[in-house]
Amino acid sequence: MPEFLIMLLLSTLLAGIVQGISGFAFAIIFLAIMQYFMPYTDLLALSSILCIIMLAVNAFVYRHHIVWKWLPAPLLINFVFTIGSIRLLDHTMDFPYWHKLLGVVFIVLALYMYFFQQKIQIHPTLYNALLFCGAGGILGGLFGVGGPPVVLYFLAIADDKEAYLSTTQMFFFINMLYDLAGRMGSGMVTPLLFRYAALCIGTILLGLWIGNKIFRHIDGNTLKKIVYLLMFLDGWYILLF
Report the 10 Å Cβ neighbour count for 55. Answer: 25
Judge contact between 26 and 218, C-beta under 8 A.
no
Q: How many CB atoms lie within 10 A of CB 222?
A: 13
Alpha carbon distance, N-terminus to C-terminus of the chain: 24
CB atoms within 10 A of CB 62: 20
pLDDT at position 70 is 92
The pLDDT of residue 102 is 66
d(CA 182, CA 124): 27
Handedness of CA 232, 40, 47, 31 (dihedral sign): negative
**Per-residue confidence (pLDDT) for residue 94, from 0 to 100:** 52
- CA nearest to 61, candidates 216, 240, 189: 216
What are the percentages of helix, strand and coil residues in the chain, rounded to 5?
Answer: 85, 0, 15
Residue type present at position 85: S
Reduced to 3 states (helix: H, G, I; strand: E, B; else coil), residue 98 is: coil
Q: Where are the domains of the chain?
A: 2-240
61 class by beta-carbon count within 10 Å (0-12 exposed, 13-18 middle, 19+ buried) = middle
Which residues touch 214 (CB under 8 Å, ≥6 apart)?
17, 20, 21
pTM score, two decimals?
0.81
Please list the ranges in the chain whose pLDDT falls under 50: none
**Residue 38: HSE in the Cβ half-sphere, 13 Å Cα cutoff:** 23
pLDDT value of residue 85: 78
CA–chain centroid gap for 161, Å, is 17
d(CA 232, CA 133): 18
Residue 193, pLDDT score: 94
DSSP assignment string, 20-88: HHHS--HHHHHHHHHTTTS-HHHHHHHHHHHHHHHHHHHHHHTGGG--GGGSHHHHHHHHHHHHHHHHH
Residues 5 and 33 sit within 8 Å (Cβ to Cβ):
no
pLDDT tens digits along 43-100: 888 998 999 999 999 999 999 999 999 999 999 998 888 777 777 765 555 555 556 7
